Amino acid sequence: MSAVRANRAYELIVAREGRGPAFLAPPERVDRVEVVEIDSGEVVLFWDLPPREARRLARALREDMGRLEAGDFLAAWRAAQE
């Protein structure tokens, strides 16, 4: 059985509280970053963060999703979430 890349097993969703870009966002804005399992539709990881942090996190998640296998990705980011 071959390993599945994280970007084939999970979907990254970034929900912005406002319409503007992160660098123009008011300080009270909070964006949500979610990693959703494609097969089940279940949210496996999530963060509520200020816009700039959410943007950086989403970029790091996308990079890891492209290079790591699904199990390794989830283990690494679950550890980082705690």
Within-domain flag for 35: yes
Within-domain flag for 49: yes
Cα dihedral 73, 6, 49, 27 in deg (nearest 10): 130
Range of the domain at 53: 6-19+28-81
pLDDT tens readout for residues 64-80 = 999 999 999 999 999 98
Within-domain flag for 1: no
**pTM value?**
0.85
Within-domain flag for 76: yes
Structure tokens at 73: 């990705």
Q: What total number of domains does the chain contain?
A: 1
Within-domain flag for 65: yes
* Helix pair angle (70-81, 51-67), 10° resolution: 150
Within-domain flag for 71: yes
% of residues, the chain, pLDDT over 70: 89
